């Protein structure tokens, strides 16, 4: 296939290189052009299954210890090449980084919430990367510092804070730390009054725990060091070594995740067991930590449910005979018998019930209808139910911290592409009246009136209507096909990319770009069927939707067909990899972050972290039907000898979700196969993992890098004219 953009790409790219090189002053045009990309050795590795023979020339790049000198040298050579090629954009990246962090409220703080006898909050200090966690006896009173994360993170290349948990009597603090970015945490304990750390240290955990009500026992999940699955629940008593901890539950089915929580009334410790399409919940009396977890309802294949407790009843959000879920209730003694469940809210094929909150006098229901979120207040008793009203064409609303079931006040968060995140509090005794507790401050000259959001539906090739969220700057948008278009997508795990506010994208909008989120199938923007139609043997719909949204937006004048850029990360990186194999001519440049691109080989290897519990998402390639289907779209396997867009690929050496060797192999094979002269840059963060850099400010370096890549190539690197 010939990329019809090959000529125009070079015509745009080379003059910009010349112009920027004059300003950078540290790299000559000759140096940039003559720099040669790394060429990886080809060492064929034969793979045979279901009568299909594959040869993986770059299989050797896998090193679970991340110490192999040859592999490290290759990754460092990729970084050196990227650095040399990116030199013309370094000044632009710095400008963008300054813009991005310049909009942040340097002294940002959360809205304090009351739990037991204190008001808890976290805040930042100007110039520091990490939060300070505080509490006070009275709202607005003198605060005491529970944890200064900056002190804990000092001199660390990477620092990840896990859960922060205060004991029920508010005397002890437990917190998790990850210093490698593999999402394996040590948990520490601190006496709040004295500030002293206990000798107790829990290693190999998922970073979170739950306190029993005796303030002496905690429950936590240990991870398998190879697969990184949290599969064991332990009970620990303060003052005893971890070696003496009691194993209270072990998940033997490696297709399940487990997680711990606590009911809002604090009477039950809750153990969640979840695979992609099946769930189970077990509970333990929080006053009896030496007891055993007991399932409320044993797992049934295809049945998903979650619970909230009020008094002696559980409210059950369930997909039993309800594709988009319905709400039921039952007593704990009758829970295991579904025939005893009572319906509270019937299933609606057009409305997905997403979450509930139980306060003493109110049932709060969060749902989604045609992609828009809604909050309904349902008082117990005679008072009529009502919805909270919002006016933006696209927005997200959800339940914020509501720490006490005895409260008659409700906190929600609200955001839209043109409205910074806002925390509202409703006094439910007063109806729909609300108070704005806090709105995210955007420093600089931000004015929401300068921007416009739109929500529309684009026809996919099979007739499905794909929701799209758009935002642009009014005075720079023409709707005549002249604006450059940035399109983002994800499309997996039922995860919805919300149409919320992101101050970062102002740097794109202010330079005339239109920003679009394609809510493709595989997410749950349009309810559970939208997810089911984009997973397993329906996965191709995700890729078709993304390409068809691009086509539709261009046809409707939202973007210039020669200046469309796209980005996605993780499963969204799979989306990018498949899209550029199948429709490379649609995209001028693409960024794929921590991309999941070697799907067949990875899903066949149960030793790789997070594989077996993904079978219900992608399919099990040990079965021929799934093997054939997954192979048909696997980005690594389907690379062709054709022109590709300009590409920026990023990964972290310590990535725990998508191992670094997937994008490394993908880039090596792309270098061998692609027939164009477009940029292919690969950045390996040798210190980071799946989430990129740690720290409030440092993480914007990655965003600035991506934006500089796109804007530099597009010639949108000039000073802003506001």
Tell me which residues are annotated as active site: 570, 655, 690
Using CA atoms, how far apart are residues 560 and 632, in angstroms rounded to an integer?
30
Q: DSSP 3-state assignment of 502?
A: coil
Residues near 348 by beta carbon (within 8 Å), at least 6 away in sequence: 324
Q: DSSP 3-state assignment of 586?
A: helix
Q: Phi, psi (5° rounding) for residue 166? A: -95, 140
Q: Which two tokens stand for residue 164?
A: 């922060």
Q: Which of 368, 376, 356, 432 is nearest to 396 (CA)?
A: 368
Alpha helical stretches, state H, 533-682: 540-555, 571-582, 599-603, 615-618, 624-633, 661-673
Judge contact between 425 and 399, C-beta under 8 A: no
Burial status of residue 73 (CB atoms within 10 A of its CB: 0-12, 13-18, 19 or more): exposed
Residues near 574 by beta carbon (within 8 Å), at least 6 away in sequence: 492, 568, 595, 596, 597, 599, 635
Q: DSSP 3-state assignment of 217?
A: strand
* Alpha carbon separation from 586 to 477, 546, 564, 633 (Å, rounded): 21, 11, 7, 18
Give the pairing of strands 451-459 and 434-439: unpaired
Judge contact between 543 and 582, C-beta under 8 A: yes
Q: Which two tokens stand for residue 667?
A: 């880039």
* Alpha carbon separation from 385 to 357, 365, 382, 389, 432 (Å, rounded): 14, 10, 9, 13, 11
Using CA atoms, how far apart are residues 70 and 50, in angstroms rounded to an integer?
33
Judge contact between 595 and 587, C-beta under 8 A: no
Q: Which two tokens stand for residue 80?
A: 């050196």
H or E element: which one contains 33? Answer: helix 29-34
Q: Which two tokens stand for residue 163?
A: 């859960």
Judge contact between 362 and 378, C-beta under 8 A: yes
Alpha helical stretches, state H, 190-277: none
Q: Which two tokens stand for residue 557?
A: 């004048």
Q: First CA to last CA across the chain, in angstroms? A: 42
Using CA atoms, how far apart are residues 192 and 211, in angstroms rounded to an integer?
15
Q: How many CA atoms lie within 13 A of 106 on its CB side?
A: 5
Using CA atoms, how far apart are residues 154 and 151, in angstroms rounded to an integer?
5
């Amino acid at each position: 296939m010939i990329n019809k953009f090959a000529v125009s790409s070079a015509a745009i790219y080379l003059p910009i290189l010349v112009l920027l090189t004059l300003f950078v002053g540290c790299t000559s045009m000759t140096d940039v052009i003559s720099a040669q990309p790394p060429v990886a050795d080809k060492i064929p590795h034969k793979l045979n299954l279901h009568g299909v023979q594959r040869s993986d020339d770059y299989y050797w790049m896998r090193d679970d210890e991340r110490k192999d000198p040859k592999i490290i040298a290759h990754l460092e050579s990729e970084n050196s090449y990227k650095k040399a090629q990116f030199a013309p954009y370094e000044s632009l990246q710095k400008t963008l980084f300054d813009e991005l962090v310049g909009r942040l409220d340097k002294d940002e703080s959360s809205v304090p919430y009351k739990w037991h006898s204190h008001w808890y909050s976290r805040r930042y200090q100007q110039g520091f990367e990490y939060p300070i966690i505080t509490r006070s006896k009275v709202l607005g009173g003198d605060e005491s510092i529970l944890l200064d994360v900056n002190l804990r993170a000092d001199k660390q290349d990477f620092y990840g804070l896990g859960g922060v948990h205060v004991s029920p009597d508010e005397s002890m603090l437990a917190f998790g730390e990850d210093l490698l970015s593999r999402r394996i945490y040590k948990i520490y304990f601190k006496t709040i009054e004295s500030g002293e750390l206990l000798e107790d240290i829990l290693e190999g955990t998922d970073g979170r725990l739950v306190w029993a009500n005796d303030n002496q026992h905690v429950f936590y999940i240990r991870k398998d060091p190879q697969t990184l699955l949290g599969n064991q629940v332990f009970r620990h008593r303060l003052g005893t070594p971890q070696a003496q901890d009691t194993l209270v539950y072990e998940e033997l089915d490696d297709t399940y995740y487990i997680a711990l929580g606590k009911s809002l009334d604090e009477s039950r410790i809750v153990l969640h067991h979840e695979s992609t399409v099946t769930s189970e919940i077990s509970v333990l009396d929080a006053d009896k930590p030496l007891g055993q977890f007991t399932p409320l309802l044993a797992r049934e294949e295809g049945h998903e449910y979650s619970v909230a407790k009020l008094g002696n009843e559980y409210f059950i959000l369930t997909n039993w005979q309800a594709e988009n879920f319905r709400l039921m209730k039952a007593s704990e003694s009758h829970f295991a018998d579904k025939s005893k469940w009572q319906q509270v809210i019937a299933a609606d094929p057009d409305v997905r019930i997403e979450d509930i909150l139980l306060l003493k006098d109110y049932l709060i229901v969060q749902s989604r209808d045609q992609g828009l979120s809604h909050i309904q207040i349902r008082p117990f008793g005679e008072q009529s139910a009502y919805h909270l009203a919002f006016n933006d064409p696209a927005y997200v609303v959800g339940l914020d911290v509501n720490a006490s079931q005895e409260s008659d006040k409700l906190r929600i968060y609200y955001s839209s592409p043109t409205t910074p995140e806002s925390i509202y509090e409703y006094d439910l005794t007063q109806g729909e009246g609300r108070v704005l507790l806090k709105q995210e401050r955007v420093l600089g000259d931000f004015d929401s009136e300068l921007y416009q959001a739109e929500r529309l539906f684009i026809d996919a090739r099979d007739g499905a209507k794909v929701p799209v969220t758009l935002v642009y700057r009014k005075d720079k948008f023409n709707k005549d096909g002249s604006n450059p278009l940035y399109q983002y997508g994800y499309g997996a795990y039922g995860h919805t990319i919300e149409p919320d506010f992101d101050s970062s994208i102002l740097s794109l909008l202010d330079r005339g770009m239109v920003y679009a989120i394609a809510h493709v199938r595989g997410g749950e923007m349009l309810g559970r069927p939208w997810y089911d139609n984009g997973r397993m043997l329906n996965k191709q719909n995700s890729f078709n939707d993304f390409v068809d949204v691009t086509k539709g937006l261009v046809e409707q004048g939202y973007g210039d067909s020669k200046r469309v850029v796209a980005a996605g990360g993780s499963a969204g990186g799979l989306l990018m990899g498949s899209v550029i194999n199948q429709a490379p001519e649609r995209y001028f440049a693409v960024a794929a972050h921590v991309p999941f691109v070697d799907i067949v080989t990875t899903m066949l290897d149960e030793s790789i972290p997070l594989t077996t519990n993904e079978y219900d998402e992608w399919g099990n390639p040990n079965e021929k039907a799934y093997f054939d289907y997954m192979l048909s779209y696997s980005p690594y396997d389907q690379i062709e000898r054709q022109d590709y867009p300009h590409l920026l690929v990023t990964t972290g050496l310590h990535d725990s979700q998508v191992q670094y060797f997937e994008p490394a192999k993908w880039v090596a094979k792309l270098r061998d196969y692609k027939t164009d002269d477009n940029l292919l840059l690969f950045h390996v963060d040798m210190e980071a993992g799946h989430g990129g850099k740690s720290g409030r400010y440092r993480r914007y370096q990655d965003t600035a890098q991506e934006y500089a890549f796109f804007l530099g190539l597009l010639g949108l690197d000039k000073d802003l004219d506001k």
